[in-house]
Chain A
Amino acid sequence: MSEPVVREAGHPPVTAQADTTSNPTPQPQNDAKNATSTPSKGKPKLSGVELKKLKQAEKQARRAAQKAAGEQLQGQQKTPPAKDGQKQVPKDDKSKPLPMRRRPSNPNVLVAKEPKKDTKKEPKHANLFFGHLYNQPRLHSVVGASKDVHPAVLALGLQYSSYIICGSTARMVSMLVAFKAVIEDYQTPVGTSLARHLTSHHLSPQIDYLRSCRPLSIGMGNAIRWLKDVIIKIDPSTPESEAKRELITDIDNFIRDRVIAADQLISDYAAKKIEPGDVILTYASSSIVESTLLRAHLDGISFSVIVVDSKPLFEGKRLARNLSQHGIKVRCFSYSGAAHAVKDASKVFLGAHAMMSNGRLYSRVGTASIANLANSNSIPVIVLCESVKFTERVALDSIVGNEVAPAEEILSERERQALLPLKVNGEEEAVTTTNDVWKRVEEAKNLQLQQVLYDVTPAEYINMVITEYGSLPPSSVPVVHRLSTNA
């Protein structure tokens, strides 16, 4: 239930500011600075609308300052008014045109760059299919992060946004590990209890930061919900050190039970599904599929693997390399060769980002086509998924809920190079650097590049879902989800 609140605070700029309430004096200053920086930016063309906005911002700052002053007395009651202040700021933000929106949070370094970028990107935001999913750009630096964010989390966020840590299980586990560090370094302020303060004040900025680096995966969401539940249930009378210790062991146990042991069980079980002579097709890279294949290989079953890979992440390549280094015979296809790959396969193993409650599989974009091809070739499609990644959410198509990835990732360096000699507008000079190529593509009128990270595979293409509870048809996903969350 706390989820919506967190989401509310999800505007990283605003939260970043509101969270400075712990030392209330700098906040008004901050706001004032931002307020003044706004006119200085927009001075040459200070329109009526902007003046109004400026006034609003000033009012906002004043109000916040008053509130902060009031709160100073009773630290415990800080939360609700601060939230209130937050809520108003975003509302105010919404009335502003886009270029202004993200400004307050960013320190001046970024602000200087921002307007230029935004004017260029604005037409691109009128995105045909995924327009509703563009709410904020991905953060690629620690600049602008709230000062409450723990260094471990800061590092993790960057690893998320650069796909160094990729894959929903890896992201979830790494997040929990980082949270262990956060909890370890946490000290309950005087006058409040750990159970009440930790979640809303200390954990939520971390989560917000992570979210601004890359939207949370469903597994991460589940883990966060679980963690909050655990924290809330801590008896306020327990001493802080003990509570922290308990929490950390809880997290360890969670990782052990729900991920490590579950993976073990699943790979044990799924490896049995591999028969000698099988050709296992897999798409992109899933840690659980990888461990299953390795397990089967160690069991001495002779089989070969086909890895289908896709732009732009090329995760399959990593998987193919790992498997082949273990001596498994691997063939690798690019995505357009998928039809040929499926034809040669005898079973399809897929990893999951999440299993939806309507039995659909939410996984790396491209999975659905593979499953579709496999289904039409009557090849069994087996999904391996820990029950942590089950969700009560449902989805019918891949458009409504998805994660949009930056479009510039589509054009790799090599592809840009290939476009260098291109003359776009007839006599125009060919560009010299690959960055210019991208600029040209980006500025091209009526041309959009779009990229999302996931798609939804219809349940009818999935023959079996293997979880730590056993193997089940996709229609049983909601049941297992209830089972695993109530247990």
Chain B
Amino acid sequence: MAEGTAIATPGLSSFLKSLKTTPVEPSVAYLISLLKRRQIRNSRQCAVATTALLLRVVGEFKGKDSAKLVERIRQVGRRLTSAQPREVVVGNIVRRVLGLVREVVEDHLDAETNATSDIGHNSQPHNDSLSRPTLSSTISTFSPLKHATAEPLDASTHQSETMSDSGELPKRPGLLTSHTSYVPSSSAPLVNSLFGLFSHPDTPSTSNTPTGHQSPDNKGMLTSLNLERLADFSNSKFDVKAEVMDGIRELQDELDQSDDLIAANALDHIHSNEIILTHTASTGVQKFLLTAARKRKFTVVHVETFPHDHTGTHSVLLTGKNRDHSGDSEEDSFKPLRAAGIQVVMIPDSHVFAIMSQVNKVILATHTVLANGGLVAASGARMIAAAAKAHQTPVVVVSGVYKLSPVYPFDIDELIEYGDPGSVVPYEDGGFVDLVDVENPLYDYVPADLVDLYITNLGGHAPSYLYRIVADHYRTEDINL
């Protein structure tokens, strides 16, 4: 095994392996070099690497001062993001971890103030009712959850949902006024999951999160809940580090499962005999389509994405495995769509407009989703989305929440990465390369108005709603690292 790692080309897998043995500082340096050399690329790989590294960073952190911990994470995050500013996901993960720390600390403080009167559950209602007006008026991102946690306690029962519903009634207006758009989509499943949490208070939260296919609504929220609960139960020996690490592990779980959670939505969006157009060799999209393929027969038109992802596309279509991601082959290997009985038609990029009149739905993979509802995706996406718009074909973007970035695209060009022009015109053609500027943009920015729907691991959202999810996942104080 050791020899294998030595020989293997540097990448995500080698980084994860080395992380176990190498101390933190060299690991940070190693990741930075991997990012700089583009040996780790693609949002998912960057996200996985960053979470793994931050887990180590937090784990090795000495001292109990949470402010210092925040500063430390920030400092690592700054170095990572400046190493590869275009992999926005790195920054996203850092911000989420920072948010986690803040949350743990705040919850702890909260719990302490609550606990001063009595740790008993009965004292909670009074406290809650007292604090409610102020809370509902603040636009703290996690305030609705604080209400939610209080509710089951309020009803002082753990079983009956009807009870909690009735008990909830008077509070509803408060929630609605502060977060109108938020309530209808997620309040009911949230209560469900809360019951799950409180009826088994000792089960590790990790086992809870994956179960909820009907309540995948808010992983980040659940994270915060669990932490709060932990704070409640163990405030005597409060340990920021351990809780943050738990939170990071849940973040890792979220990364692991986001594809599956997204794919769970597939049947809601794909009906029989549809013709679906997609591009690039995205694992997420393939899984999404495969899930739908289990129940329904449809046709997939796959755009080749020449010149930067055509090989990946070809190999995904043929084998279901993206050759480029040789590192995590086990995770990435699934049977190709065509083996699932799905008719796949591959077309060159230039054919998109010609075919679009026949297409029912466009499903795009993405690199980063931005807070304004726009996205950065493999180049060609803009052209596809524009063609879809011209034909009134709905465009669905499939993306994990971890790709959702609080960055607002003031300067779009900054986010666009340019690749090897040799893949457009080979360097052997010296005369040509000398005279002509060959450009190979790897990403396209697709504005929000070209997108009809986002499907994340939390469910489907309109592009205009994304800012809200951003607010749920990131703290405003962390937006500038």
CB of B386 within 8 A of CB of A376, answer: yes
Which of B297-344 touch A at CB < 8 Å?
Answer: 299, 304-308, 310-311, 314-315, 317-319, 323, 337-339, 341-344
Q: Contact check: which of B337, B339, B379, B438 meets A336 at CB < 8 Å?
A: B379
The docked-state distance in angstroms from the alpha carbon of A368 to that of B352 is 9
With CB as the reference atom, state the residue of chain B lying closest to A402.
B354
Min Cβ gap B282→A in Å is 15
Does chain A have a CB within 8 A of B383? yes
Please name all residues of chain A whose beta carbon is closer than 8 Å to the beta carbon of B311 when the two chains form the complex: 415, 418-419
CB of B358 within 8 A of CB of A332, answer: no
CB of B338 within 8 A of CB of A445, answer: yes
Please name all residues of chain A whose beta carbon is closer than 8 Å to the beta carbon of B253 when the two chains form the complex: none
Which of A428-456 touch B at CB < 8 Å?
Answer: 440-441, 444-452, 454-456
CB of A369 within 8 A of CB of B306, answer: no
Please name all residues of chain A whose beta carbon is closer than 8 Å to the beta carbon of B318 when the two chains form the complex: 419, 422, 424, 440-441, 444, 447
CB of A128 within 8 A of CB of B345, answer: yes
The docked-state distance in angstroms from the alpha carbon of A365 to that of B354 is 7
Does chain B have a CB within 8 A of A269? no
CB of B386 within 8 A of CB of A410, answer: no
Interface-facing stretch out of B124-132, B175-183, B209-217, B429-437: B429-437
CB of B390 within 8 A of CB of A397, answer: no
CB of A447 within 8 A of CB of B344, answer: yes
The docked-state distance in angstroms from the alpha carbon of A445 to that of B380 is 27
CB of B439 within 8 A of CB of A337, answer: yes
Please name all residues of chain B whose beta carbon is closer than 8 Å to the beta carbon of A421 when the two chains form the complex: 323
Please name all residues of chain A whose beta carbon is closer than 8 Å to the beta carbon of B352 when the two chains form the complex: 369
The docked-state distance in angstroms from the alpha carbon of A129 to that of B436 is 37
CB of A309 within 8 A of CB of B346, answer: no
Please name all residues of chain A whose beta carbon is closer than 8 Å to the beta carbon of B168 when the two chains form the complex: none
Does chain A have a CB within 8 A of B350? yes
Which of B417-444 touch A at CB < 8 Å?
Answer: 423-426, 429, 431-432, 435-441, 444
CB of A332 within 8 A of CB of B354, answer: no
Instruction: Report the number of A-B residue pairs with Cβ-Cβ less than 8 Å.
Output: 199
Please name all residues of chain B whose beta carbon is closer than 8 Å to the beta carbon of A448 when the two chains form the complex: 343-346
CB of B432 within 8 A of CB of A446, answer: no
Q: Contact check: which of B343, B354, B423, B431 meets A455 at CB < 8 Å?
A: B354
The docked-state distance in angstroms from the alpha carbon of A129 to that of B301 is 10
Please name all residues of chain B whose beta carbon is closer than 8 Å to the beta carbon of A455 when the two chains form the complex: 350-351, 353-354
Q: Contact check: which of B338, B339, B346, B353 meets A410 at CB < 8 Å?
A: B346
The docked-state distance in angstroms from the alpha carbon of A446 to that of B435 is 43
Does chain B have a CB within 8 A of A317? yes
The docked-state distance in angstroms from the alpha carbon of A340 to that of B429 is 24
Q: Contact check: which of B323, B354, B383, B389 meets A452 at CB < 8 Å?
A: B354
The docked-state distance in angstroms from the alpha carbon of A320 to that of B317 is 33
Does chain B have a CB within 8 A of A158? no
Size class of the contact patch on chain B: 35 or more
With CB as the reference atom, state the residue of chain A lying closest to B333.
A426
From B353, B416, B439, B440, residue with most partner A Cβ within 10 Å: B353
- Closest A-B pairs by Cβ, 3 of them: A366-B350, A339-B382, A336-B380
Assess A311 versus B306: contact at CB under 8 Å? Given A336-B349, A340-B439, A365-B354: yes
From B317, B342, B423, residue with most partner A Cβ within 10 Å: B317
Interface of chain B, main secondary structure:
mixed
Assess A422 versus B323: contact at CB under 8 Å? Given A320-B436, A337-B440, A337-B441: yes
Assess A410 versus B357: contact at CB under 8 Å? Given A373-B382, A441-B318: no
Does chain B have a CB within 8 A of A372? yes
- Can you list 18 contacts pairing A with B, beta carbon distance less than 8 Å? A129-B355, A311-B304, A324-B435, A330-B437, A331-B436, A333-B439, A335-B350, A340-B441, A365-B351, A366-B351, A397-B357, A399-B354, A410-B304, A440-B318, A441-B314, A446-B338, A447-B318, A449-B346
CB of A399 within 8 A of CB of B386, answer: no
Does chain B have a CB within 8 A of A423? yes
CB of B387 within 8 A of CB of A339, answer: no
With CB as the reference atom, state the residue of chain B lying closest to A414.
B426
The docked-state distance in angstroms from the alpha carbon of A420 to that of B309 is 16
Q: Contact check: which of B348, B354, B387, B439 meets A311 at CB < 8 Å?
A: B348
CB of B351 within 8 A of CB of A340, answer: no
Min Cβ gap B430→A in Å is 12
CB of B436 within 8 A of CB of A451, answer: no
Which of A459-475 touch B at CB < 8 Å?
Answer: none
Does chain B have a CB within 8 A of A172? no
Does chain B have a CB within 8 A of A245? no
With CB as the reference atom, state the residue of chain B lying closest to A416.
B314
Does chain B have a CB within 8 A of A312? yes
Does chain B have a CB within 8 A of A357? no
Does chain B have a CB within 8 A of A23? no
The docked-state distance in angstroms from the alpha carbon of A177 to that of B314 is 43
Does chain A have a CB within 8 A of B153? no
Does chain B have a CB within 8 A of A174? no
The docked-state distance in angstroms from the alpha carbon of A338 to that of B347 is 16
Q: Contact check: which of A310, A368, A447 meets B338 at CB < 8 Å?
A: A447
